[in-house]
Structure 1
Amino acid sequence: MDIENLKFEDGLVTAIAQDYKTGDVLMVAFMDKEALKKTIETKRGYYWSRSRRKLWKKGESSGHEQIVHDILIDCDADAVLLKVEQIGGACHTGYRSCFYRTIDGEVIGEKLFEPDEIYKQ
């Protein structure tokens, strides 16, 4: 499969980052073609920020980068699964995973850092 055959909607494809050892889902983001190409070339997670409207490397400001071990494409070719080794927390709120709470709001995830200490502007 060639990345040109992926179904990018409005220039983006859904990207799921999963811990390559435990299978835990760490985060969901979006990639444009450039982000996917850079991820393939460097074996590091790159994404497209819809809020900032720019390409970003996971960990560029926090140091909590993703080492990509494998990239899988779903059956409809409209999503990618990155199997990653996450260095530090995946979530910008300080948790290991962005999926750190239940639907009822109970926090069940592990907090690894305080965002105010990492993201100084």
Structure 2
Amino acid sequence: MSTTTSLDPAIAARLKRDDHGLFAAVVQDAGSRDVLMVGWMDDEALHRTLTTGAATFWSRSRSEYWVKGETSGNTLAVREVRLDCDGDTVLVVADPAGPTCHTGATTCFDADRLV
């Protein structure tokens, strides 16, 4: 992960990160309002998302940044990003181009309903 970032200091000050410098990023479809996925960001991933308009995350398993759709073509064009009241989660409102889940489903939450 990057130790330097160009993230706005006012935003950086409001973020609460875990011990690895990460916070959750919930992605919501701008049109349907469905929750599409949850990923992890650090300050640099958020900065890249805000400046490029392409949803960028930190892969905990690969220890690298990744842009949603970079290999699949199923991108997320970011419309807005909101910080929650606790400062530990961001909401990324985006327009998906194709399915969001790696399984080919529209959303990662199409699996069995628990309740």
Identify whether the pair has TM-score above 0.5, normalized to the shorter chain: yes
TM-score band (shorter)? Answer: 0.7 to 0.9
**1:5 and 2:19 aligned:** no
The one of 42, 48, 54 equivalent to 2:64 is: 54
1:110 alignment partner in structure 2: none
Greater length-normalized contact order (CA 8 Å, ≥ 6 residues apart): 2
Separation (CA, whole Å) in 1 of partners of 2:75 and 2:13: 26
Instruction: Point out the structure with max Rg over C-alpha.
Output: 1
2:47 alignment partner in structure 1: 37
Matching residue's letter, 1:5: R
Separation (CA, whole Å) in 2 of partners of 1:14 and 1:30: 5
Q: Offset of 1:16 from its aligned partner?
A: 0.3
2:87 alignment partner in structure 1: 77
The answer to which of 77-86 and 94-103 deviates more is 94-103
**1:18 and 2:31 aligned:** no
Q: Offset of 1:33 from its aligned partner?
A: 1.0
Q: Offset of 1:21 from its aligned partner?
A: 1.2
Q: Offset of 1:50 from its aligned partner?
A: 0.7
Deviation string 1:25-78 (CA, Å, 9 cap, x unpaired) is 000010011110000001110000111111000001101111000101111000
Matching residue's letter, 1:45: A
Aligned length: 104
Q: Kindly report the root-mean-square deviation, in angstroms, between the aligned alpha carbons of the 2 structures.
A: 1.1
**1:95 and 2:105 aligned:** yes
Separation (CA, whole Å) in 2 of partners of 1:27 and 1:73: 16
Matching residue's letter, 2:41: M
Structure 2: gaps of 5 or more residues: 1-9
TM-score between both structures, scaled by the size of structure 1:
0.82
Q: Offset of 1:101 from its aligned partner?
A: 1.6
